[in-house]
Structure 1
Amino acid sequence: MSQAMIKVTNLRLRTFIGFNPDEREKQQDVVINIEIQYPADKSFETDDVADALNYKVITKKVIQHVEEGRFLLLEKLVADVLAICSEHPSITMSRVTIDKPHALRFADSVSLSLEQRK
């Protein structure tokens, strides 16, 4: 069985993230990286979109959830995005890393990663 790995790289969104007063009042940038693994043998053979995983549908759900949400912790945001990325029954592994640029004064960003295997 061949496993395909879909990667969504550097999805840049804005959301309310953090627990400090200023973080709760204005949106901040987040950068999302997603990896989704699924069996792709049938799509290789048929070349039919119906046999492939529709990453556009997953990405749209992620965008809506992130942009409409409010999160105190990066852990909650990453867990929510991972849950969205793991919904489809054929997915065997998903990994999400979210960077919060400018979270620390002397660092490019702070990131958190979570992974789920079925």
Structure 2
Amino acid sequence: MKLNPAIIRIKNLRLRTYIGINDDEITNMQDVVINIKIHYNADQATDSDKMDDALNYKVITKRIINLVENNRFSLLEKLTADVLAIAAEHAWVNYAEVEVDKPHALRFSDSVSLCLSCNKN
């Protein structure tokens, strides 16, 4: 049976970082919520049941946590692009998509979010 690419979804990764250009945003960490979608060919992993044949989402997530929590960002665009670069980095990845939400960024709104994606085919 020919399988379509596997889709890994990392949902609602809640982190804190410095994000924004206003004085209070520069001085205070804020919450961000990150959702990631990664497509890759998982045929080897489904056949072998071995971790070495699968894309390790724990390693990817740890790298994203380190990036977000240990850096400062003026723009949501830069933060999202940097997370996307990590999500898409592995050679097996065909497509990656990242959405970053900045809760309470606007009055009367739950959040503002930005979504970026890349197709490596």
* TM-score interval, normalised by the smaller of the two chains: over 0.9
CA distance, structure 2, for counterparts of residue 43 and residue 22 of structure 1:
47
| Structure 1 ranges of 4+ moved more than 2 A | none
Q: CA offsets, 1:42-70, max 9 Å, x none? A: 11111111100000000000000000010
* Count of matched residue positions in the alignment of Structure 1 and Structure 2: 118
Corresponding residue for 1:109? 111
Structure 2 counterpart SS, 1:63: helix
CA distance, structure 2, for counterparts of residue 81 and residue 95 of structure 1:
9
Corresponding residue for 2:70? 68
Q: TM-score, normalised by structure 2?
A: 0.96
Say which is worse superposed, 83-92 or 1-10, in terms of deviation: 1-10
* CA RMSD of superposed structures (Å): 0.6
Q: Which stretches in structure 2 are left out of the alignment for 5+ residues? A: none
Displacement after TM superposition at 1:12 (Å): 0.2
Q: TM-score, normalised by structure 1?
A: 0.98
Displacement after TM superposition at 1:103 (Å): 0.1
CA distance, structure 1, for counterparts of residue 44 and residue 67 of structure 2:
30
Displacement after TM superposition at 1:24 (Å): 0.1
